[in-house]
Amino acid sequence: MQGKIFVGYQGWHAPSIEGTNLKWMHFGDKGKFEPGFSCVDLWPDVSDLAEADRIATGFKHTDGRAAQVYSPASPTTVDKHFEWMKTYGIDGAFVQRFGVSVNDKRVSIHVARVLENVRKAADHHDRSYAIMYDLSGLHKGQLQSVVMTDWKRLVTEQKVRNDRTYLHHNGKPVVAVWGIGFNDNRDYTLAESLELIRFLKSDPIYGGNAVMIGVPFYWRTETRDTLKDPLVHQIIAEADIVSPWSVGRYNKPEAISKIQTEIYEPDLKWLAEHGTPSHRIDYLPAIFPGFSWHNLQSLHGKTAPFDAIPRKGGQFLWSQAAAAKNAGAQMLYVAMFDEIDEGTAIFKVTADPPAGFLALDVREPDHYLWLTGEIGKVLRETKKAPGEMPKRAK
């Protein structure tokens, strides 16, 4: 994974799920996606998609046209997404696999279809992919009954690790587990989390993996978003790759110089000190382009500012990447490729949203795909990253 840049691929937007009554999942609310029922703060650009893959919504453009979105249940849509990754120089994707979705018989239909599409698209466009389990919402005992059981099935029945493009690190297939050590009242325990990590690393049949863990941003000091428990550091010391969750933890480009010296550099030092010659612990900083979940929170009767963490035309994303690179990070994770609910998507979004729909500063539809590719280039260089983002040739 050294010298590579990855994205998170949610794949959870579903206008409908075949065989169920679920509609507009992660687009709207109460089975509707129309004015007053939107949970997204960005509108996807579907102009590159085949006409059959463009799905009409309850929103209208000013000229009366129905505004359209997409579904990752379509293999040709996911293929296009991975084509964009290849075109702009993104090395691969971590496919988000929420335990609660796997455990829901209706939603699991969509989850299975998205993974099938990703496997084909990754192979077609020679991009890497890996499974990332998100533990959010799981209860005690479900790390074993849901996550372990699902991984066994993926290995034995679907044989995902045999795929030519399945991501490997230091000769081992990568499996990511996100949501360990947070102090937000998660029901599963740290002891269960450690058991899961050891299963993925050491089980004679299903182990042998390089395990990446998504942890709180302040894991090292066990402050702010992190549980204060010695098991947090024990789990991190047993992982192969550590990825602290940065989204929402800072909000201004000028503050990121402190992130380099107060977070990235000490984190890297800690991991080096706690690794061994036979067990190196690598570091995968997560960076994000900005944040906005105004519509999502409004649906739940809460107030959240629109464009809460401004993108600054890409400088916010670039500043994080430069800080991580200059601190010594050798790989990066961009959150996310397609997360329009929280306004962190880097895939193509339109500057021509439907009437009455607030639009973030997105510039050209492919601006953040291009910028992510530029970050990948500077990540692979030996020199320090400049503080200012590059200018795109016209």
pLDDT tens digits, residue range 317-343?
999 999 999 999 999 999 999 999 999
**DSSP single-letter state for residue 21:** S
DSSP 357: -
The two tokens of residue 132 are 């990332």
Q: What integer pLDDT is reported at residue 28 of this predicted model?
A: 97
- Interval 93-100 mean pLDDT: 98
Q: What is the average pLDDT across 12-40?
A: 96
| Model pLDDT, residue 360 | 73
Residue 312 token pair: 């600054």
Instruction: Indicate whether this model's pTM tops 0.95.
Output: yes
Look at residue 157 in the predicted model and tell me its pLDDT: 98
Q: Which domains does the chain have, with CATH numbers?
A: 4-380 (3.20.20.80)
pLDDT at 252 over 90: no
Q: For residue 353, give the 3-state DSSP assignment.
A: coil
Work out the number of other CB atoms within 10 angstroms of the CB of residue 307. 16
Query: CA-CA distance, 265 to 378, in Å (whole number)?
Result: 18
- Give residues with Cβ within 8 angstroms of 198, minimum separation 6: 238
Distance of CA 317 to the CA centre of its chain: 14
Instruction: Tell me how far apart the alpha carbons of residues 126 and 330 are, in angstroms, rounded to a whole number.
Output: 21
Give the pLDDT confidence of 150-174 residue by residue, as tens digits. Answer: 999 999 999 999 999 999 999 999 9
362 — pLDDT class (breaks 50, 70, 90): low
Q: Which among 252, 117, 97 has a CA at the least distance from the CA of 176? A: 97
Residue 141 pLDDT greater than 70, yes or no? yes
pLDDT in tens, 168-180: 999 999 999 999 9
- For 3, left (φ over 0), alpha (ψ -120 to 50), or beta? left
User: Residue 361 — pLDDT band, cuts 50, 70, 90?
Assistant: low
Handedness of CA 346, 12, 118, 100 (dihedral sign): positive
DSSP labels, 51-83: GGG-EEEEEE-TTSPEEEE--TTSHHHHHHHHH
197-238 pLDDT, tens digit each: 999 999 999 999 999 999 999 999 999 999 999 999 999 999
Q: For the residues of 173-209, what is the DSSP string, one character each?
A: EEEEEE--SB-S--SS-HHHHHHHHHHHHH-TTT--P
- Residue 354 pLDDT exceeds 90: yes
142: left (phi over 0), alpha (psi -120 to 50) or beta: alpha
* Six-digit token string for 167: 């991501």
Instruction: Please tell me the distance from the alpha carbon of residue 295 to that of residue 120, in angstroms, as a whole number.
Output: 33
Q: What is the largest CA-CA distance in the chain?
A: 64
The pLDDT assigned to 124 comes to 98
* Cβ contacts of 278 within 8 Å, gap of 6 or more: none
Q: How far apart are CA 116 and CA 120, in angstroms?
A: 7
pLDDT of 181 > 70? The answer is yes
Percent of the chain with pLDDT over 90: 95
* Alpha-carbon separation of residue 103 from 136, 141, 149, 180, 376 (angstroms): 12, 13, 10, 19, 35
Q: What is the pLDDT of residues 35-65, one digit of tens each?
A: 999 999 999 999 999 999 999 999 999 999 9
**Which secondary-structure segment (H or E) carries 25?**
strand 23-25
